[in-house]
Chain A
């Protein structure tokens, strides 16, 4: 058991903290999110005051994202050029988003309104990703049924193609992603992502991953790697601000990082064994879990903590959701291994896993 002198009365099993980091590391490495929406409520449940949970998770996200970037870079999943250009817009956007948030509070817009906006936004992202992925899976299943070879590169949807057609100089070619797009659109998109992140308070990866897939037209695995790289910078910005407010327990972030560095490897490597639609399914599930958690939090605020079972509900959603996502990733990984070794897998799962001749032990 360890104690943290900054928060008297909080006692924690060190292995539980390492295990929590490990679990969230797997999810983070697989879907390309920072993992703050899972770690923060988990730390609160484990006894951390909310401000310490937010600050500590931001510090942890920096280290975790660096570990993830290095792993995904080795797997060829990071488009550094695109990531760096988007960061320019994102960082400006975060500052504007925070200022808009402060302004909205000054004019009397309550926290409930901000939380409602974030719930609507995450719900839209989750439902759209789920719907689009189901459509794509149906098409792939149909092709497999007709014994057709899957198309080599059909990654951009109509919206990303429309954006790529806007010829606003300078148009930059990103060889890693295979996309040409105007610099101003990249920076502008980064700005909007940053503004939403700053306004809502969480959701760097939750917004970046679908934006890269649906607006820029990146393949899912490339979006995951590039998103993890981009998350480092807003997390560092947040870490500085929270350290200045005295909200960070660096020893807890350190323990979480030890666990998550291992989990991140497994999550990132698992992306080599599945198709993009599997990553998007898990991503959509993670977002919907976060939505349920936020809805419970909103009800708690509106009812002024009068409903006692809500606390139990939040615990169940946080750890149950994390468990569900872990089962999904493990299930996909086992299915992919079986598929590669020529063993039976259900026909509906064939479109979820990759044949995988890109990497091997």
Chain B
């Protein structure tokens, strides 16, 4: 399987996951679940809110990050080796 074809399949799979996360967030916002979770803070259920907020940002960040990465591969962007010839701080 070619690199771009594999990237195409990965993009499709990640898009579905991303779509599901977006649907879930909009659904919970509309149904008032987020407000309910907001009031859990300071109670026994507070840790669920903490874990949910952290988990959502990490998961969405990772999914979006991988999606963008695979999309550039699909579009044919080639990344070479890191530049070691860059002039960094205080070139002498």
Does A pair with B?
A: yes
* Chain A residues proximal to chain B, CB less than 8 Å: 5-6, 59-60, 62-71, 74-77, 132, 135-136, 139-140, 150-160, 176, 178, 210, 213-214, 217-223, 236, 239-240, 243-246, 248, 250-251, 253-254, 257-258, 261-262, 264-265, 275-277, 280, 354, 357-361
Question: Is there an interface contact between A219 and B88, defined as CB atoms closer than 8 Å?
Answer: yes
Pairwise interchain contact B85-A152, C-beta atoms closer than 8 A: yes
Contact A254 B64 (CB under 8 A): no
Residue B80 contacts which of A239, A244, A253, A359 (CB distance < 8 angstroms)? A359
Q: Answer whether A359 and B57 are a contact pair too, CB < 8 Å, given A155-B89, A219-B88, A257-B64.
A: no
CA distance in complex: A218, B54 (Å): 31
Query: A214 CA to B49 CA in the complex, in Å?
Result: 40
Q: B23 within 8 Å of A by Cβ?
A: no
Judged by DSSP, the binding face of A is helix
Q: Which residues of B contact A (CB under 8 A)?
A: 22, 25, 29, 32, 34-35, 38, 41-42, 46, 49-50, 52-54, 56-58, 60-62, 64-66, 68-69, 72, 75-92
Of the candidates A64, A178, A264, the one whose C-beta lies within 8 Å of that of B84 is A178
Interface contact B91-A239, CB-CB below 8 Å: no
Inter-chain CA distance A26–B25, complex, in Å, is 24
Q: Beyond A157-B89, A275-B87, list 5 extra A-B contacts (CB 8 Å).
A: A74-B72, A244-B42, A250-B52, A253-B57, A280-B89
Whether A152 pairs with B69 at a CB distance below 8 angstroms is no
Tell me how far the C-beta of A280 lies from the nearest C-beta in chain B, rounded to whole angstroms: 8
Tell me whether chain B's interface is mostly helix, strand or loop, or mixed: helix
A257 and B82 form a contact (CB under 8 A): no
The contact sample of 10 A-B pairs, CB cut-off 8 A, is A70-B66, A150-B85, A153-B85, A158-B90, A251-B29, A253-B57, A254-B25, A280-B89, A358-B80, A359-B78
Across-interface contacts of B50 in A (CB, < 8 A):
240, 243-244
Distance in angstroms between the alpha carbons of A257 and B18 in the assembled complex? 12
Report the minimal beta-carbon distance from B69 to chain A, rounded to whole angstroms.
5
Q: By the criterion CB–CB under 8 Å, are A132 and B83 in contact?
A: no
Contact A67 B53 (CB under 8 A): no
Q: Given the complex, which residues of A lie within 8 Å of B29, measured CB to CB?
A: 251
User: Which residues of chain B have C-beta atoms less than 8 A from A151's C-beta?
Assistant: 85, 87, 91
A144 CB to closest chain B CB (Å) equals 12
Q: How distant is the Cα of A350 from the Cα of B62 in the complex, in angstroms?
A: 36
Whether B88 and A239, one on each chain, are in contact in the complex, defined by CB atoms closer than 8 angstroms, is no
Cross-chain contact of B76 among A63, A219, A245, A361 (Cβ < 8 A): A361
Do residues A74 and B87 form an inter-chain contact, with CB atoms below 8 A? no
Flag if B62 contacts A70 (CB, 8 Å): yes
The docked-state distance in angstroms from the alpha carbon of A157 to that of B88 is: 8
Whether the pair B64, A63 counts as a contact (CB closer than 8 A) is yes
B21 CB, min distance to chain A CBs, angstroms: 9
Q: Which residues of B contact A157 (CB under 8 A)?
A: 89-92
| Residue in chain B with minimal CB distance to A75 | B79
Quick one: which of A5, A210, A277 contacts B35, CB cutoff 8 A?
Answer: A5
CA–CA, A95 and B49, complex, Å = 22
Q: Are A360 and B92 in contact (CB under 8 A)?
A: no
Contacts of A64 in B (CB 8 A): 61
Q: Is the CB of A261 within 8 A of B65?
A: yes
- The reply to whether B69 and A74 form a contact with Cβ atoms under 8 Å apart is yes
Complex CA–CA separation, A70 to B88 (angstroms)? 22
Please, which residues of chain A bring their CB within 8 A of the CB of B91?
136, 139-140, 151, 154-155, 157
Q: Which residues of A are found within 8 Å of B32, using beta-carbon distances?
A: 5
CA distance A178 to B79 in the complex (A): 20
The answer to whether B87 touches A154, judged by C-beta atoms less than 8 angstroms apart, is yes
Report whether B89 and A221 are in contact in the complex, using a CB–CB cutoff of 8 Å. no
Distance between Cα atoms of A261 and B79 in the complex (Å): 19
